[in-house]
Amino acid sequence: MKLLVPAATGVEAVVKRQLEALGYRDLRAINGRVAVCDCDWRDVARINMFIRSGERVLVQLARFDVPDFDALYDGVRNVAWRDLVDKNGRVTVVTKSVNSKLFAHHAIQSVGKKAVVDALRNGAVLDETGAEYRVELDITDDVCSVNLDTTGVGLHKRGYRTLPYDAPLKETTAAALIDLTVWNPDKMFTDLFCGSGTLPIEAAMKALNIAPGFKRHFAYEQWSVAAGAYERAFAEAADVRRDRPLNIVGGDISEKALETARFHAAQAGVENNVKFNLRPAEQFVSNSSYGVNVSNPPYGQRLGDEENAKQLAKNMGKLYRALDKWNFYFLTPLEDFERLFGRRADKKRQLFNAGIKCCFYSFNGPKPPKPSPQDPCDP
């Protein structure tokens, strides 16, 4: 079975590395999706449970040319639906069309659905009262990929972030940002603008090896074809390093934000591993000489807020110069962020946050010295 793991623009390489860390090889990233070959339902369950920045896990059921609707019907009908869908399964069809002759979504959807129903029905009336099977017909450059969504609600919904908050980062994006930094659990981690706590919580979950999917459920769990797969993945998720010492701190000027962040940390099981402090970012001081700050400060999108966002960028530049061995990272759409910060970034990556084009700026500090080799004369 071939799986496809969609990734947000700019984080495909991160998702590829995360899959490699889970033991998968020969991965290819195409059109914002990382393809994983030679998989079975246990892999579906493992990837859903452990991938930190993928958006969902799809099974590619077929791939064929679609010059016209007859080809679409035949290609979809030829899938072994009866081996896959339970007797009372409810198949829903969603469509995507890019640069192709077939582009009318409603027509693609109804031809696709008819082909599935004809294959399943075999003369009988369908009882569609059971589990949902969401099928995506992705037509790109006149080639149709028939993909079954095994995830259901997107993987950014970990299950711990239940309180509303203004402009939170998606959990999958936060995890990707962390992976794009030099942070490791031996260093201090801060988010000086932590809001609902997403970045510190994701950092702690990664460091403690808490599976991002341990607190939620997935569409495939309802399907006979995947029986037992979730239980195996859940058992593997028990390997948590809860006693690992961490120095992870979130700060914000809003008491409400910190209340929300603390609640979310408790839901994620990291309340004893992350501290949240009421403090303006500008007043941050630290005894740790080496540390990493990752933040998405206020964007200033609302009228009147832009000046404040610009002033914060200037203040963060000052703070970075004061903490001269720290690495600072900021996700922001502010176009002149480097000028305001007062330094050219060491690296810039274009990403999207809530549909807004942003840049992820990296401002490096010096590398910590390597521990000196032991004197050969030492006992």
Binding site for ligand SAM (CB under 6 A): 165, 167-169, 192-196, 198-199, 251-254, 257, 280-282, 296-298, 312
Of the pair 89, 250, the CB lying nearest ligand SAM is at 250
Minimum CB separation from ligand SAM for residue 146, in Å? 35
Minimum CB separation from ligand SAM for residue 45, in Å? 28
DSSP 8-state class, residue 356: E
Minimum CB separation from ligand SAM for residue 326, in Å? 16
Q: How would you list the strands of the sheet with 274-278, edge to edge?
A: 274-278, 248-252, 188-191, 291-295, 327-332, 356-363, 347-353
Of the pair 253, 266, the CB lying nearest ligand SAM is at 253
Alpha-carbon distances of 275 from 52, 62, 250, rounded to whole Å:
22, 48, 6
Of the pair 92, 362, the CB lying nearest ligand SAM is at 362
Q: Which residue is nearest to ligand SAM (CB)?
A: 195
Minimum CB separation from ligand SAM for residue 244, in Å? 23
Of the pair 11, 84, the CB lying nearest ligand SAM is at 11
**308 within 8 A of 300, measured Cβ to Cβ:** yes
Of the pair 11, 35, the CB lying nearest ligand SAM is at 11
Question: If 0-12 CB within 10 Å is exposed, 13-18 middle and 19+ buried, where does residue 93 land?
Answer: buried
Minimum CB separation from ligand SAM for residue 273, in Å? 17
**207 within 8 A of 246, measured Cβ to Cβ:** yes
Of the pair 16, 206, the CB lying nearest ligand SAM is at 206
DSSP 8-state class, residue 170: P
Question: Which of 329, 316, 324 shows the shortest CA–CA distance to 361?
Answer: 329
Minimum CB separation from ligand SAM for residue 226, in Å? 32
Task: Give CA 31 to chain center in angstroms.
Answer: 17
Six-digit token string for 161: 């972030």
